[in-house]
Structure 1
């Protein structure tokens, strides 16, 4: 989901820095780099990135991902995004990298390689009229539709009403370049309070990029044990879609998937068999 879209941002950074500092030519991935824009809006940040160990290691790591971009047959480039994701979470969590990335994106110095949009916003038909109140409390993500961001291990979300808005605090683990796990704990997003049946739209900044998402709550168990939703998001010229099955406990009774599957098919035309099964085992860190 959201969140945390590492995207191919590092790929773009490699190209921009290479051009701005006369470094060796990098692989061409259909990404447009406006060198004059970088020089005008981000010159000091570009130099800082080259001089910073973490930022430089991120670029060096992602250079290897870039080599395989066109070899990834998936429309959403899941393998390529997973590769850059590992690089960014391993080396690029520092302020230098994220400030430079935000500068490039906010000043439109980059054009992302094309990834098709499959958002079904116009055809979503929720089963029940749910609101933010239905998300209140803690949930464990059991299954996800977006093959990378919805499938992180150990995802658990907390939704708390704070005045007239909701605080959304996600915890989840990501894989680093050595395939160890890193627990992400430093994110919190503000979401609006909504009336039953309304879609939920909000914006936030994560990993140096401004992002926006719209959620459609679709259905909820009569006993409150699970809730399902569909979402579409945008960041730095890219669109994405996803869906999450969330439960109150670490595990969900398999019998629940008959109703969940029927609801997804009716509400948004998704097949529950296309969802990944996430890891919510006791191997999760302190979440």
Structure 2
């Protein structure tokens, strides 16, 4: 649920590689999106820039994202969902190789890229969990049944697994299918994030580096079924000048009993003011995993 944002910054890289030859300005902004400082790229990332342009996958990721990026100013959807969905397909189709990720890391670590602002919509500090839960309550494997963020939370065949690795930390492993540019599905299995062990009632806050960007994210555990069959959460995150929010409904079984949504819907309304009818349904019917 965290990678689509990365592709938006790739649109300018191909332009950057020919900046001096074409006497482009010191800083170039395309549409309403990110701006690239060419002097910064030349100082810190010139070799990686050349390597990216010569690499077929990295180059194709740039070209693909640039087409999505042209619609930035036209996209009036909340949190730029339309553009993010488009660039997400570019990243997962072309941008998973190390060359692409190294270049993204160089640009962001050296602040060669400035981002347009996506306003903060986080419900904090008005989140009021129904139950006092901790990281331990997430332990085990879950199927994601519904999601709130239209890009990050709505992937089909989505599972999450939480394993305690020591007294202070848990390992969070999401797996999901994402659409490629040809609309075929690709199973993502290479993401893992370390989360803190929390006491009941504490928020779960953690930071991580993913495909060249530093993220800071906070989860609010909201409610859990008495029999442990489902759990719900709300999260907010940020990276650069981008802010995002989302929420997941997770169950221990592939199919959640529809009768559970009466309590889930009431809990969301009470805890964070969200309407369960605004959530997407995730497709759990795929045979992408033998579970």
- Alignment-derived partner of residue 192 in structure 1: 196
Q: Which 4+ residue blocks in structure 1 deviate beyond 6 angstroms?
A: 23-26
Unaligned 5+ residue runs, structure 2?
none
Q: Shift of the alpha carbon at 1:279?
A: 0.6
Unaligned 5+ residue runs, structure 1?
none
Distance 1:119 1:242 in 2: 9
1:92 to 91, 95, 114: 95
1:103 to 89, 102, 106: 106
Distance 1:226 1:7, change over 3 A: farther
Distance 1:261 1:63 in 2: 39
Do residues 114 (structure 1) and 129 (structure 2) align? no
Write the mapping of 1:4-19 to structure 2, written as runs, cut at 5 A. 5-6=5-6, 8-14=8-14, 16-17=16-17, 19=19
TM-score under structure 1 normalisation?
A: 0.94
Task: Report Cα offsets for 1:211-232 as digits up to 9, x if no partner.
Answer: 1211000000011000000001
Please tell me whether the aligned partners of residues 14 and 59 of structure 2 are also in contact (alpha carbons under 8 angstroms).
no
- Alignment-derived partner of residue 32 in structure 1: 35
- Alignment-derived partner of residue 55 in structure 1: 58
Distance 1:218 1:23, change over 3 A: farther
Do residues 261 (structure 1) and 265 (structure 2) align? yes
Distance 1:144 1:194, change over 3 A: same
- Alignment-derived partner of residue 137 in structure 1: 140
Please tell me whether the aligned partners of residues 153 and 284 of structure 1 are also in contact (alpha carbons under 8 angstroms).
no
Distance 1:6 1:278, change over 3 A: farther
The alignment covers a number of residue pairs equal to: 287
- Alignment-derived partner of residue 170 in structure 1: 174
Q: Shift of the alpha carbon at 1:114?
A: 2.3
Q: In structure 2, the residue corresponding to 1:70 is in which secondary structure?
A: coil
Q: Shift of the alpha carbon at 1:26?
A: 7.9
Distance 1:233 1:7, change over 3 A: farther
Please tell me whether the aligned partners of residues 6 and 81 of structure 1 are also in contact (alpha carbons under 8 angstroms).
no
Distance 1:177 1:258 in 2: 37
Distance 1:185 1:21, change over 3 A: farther
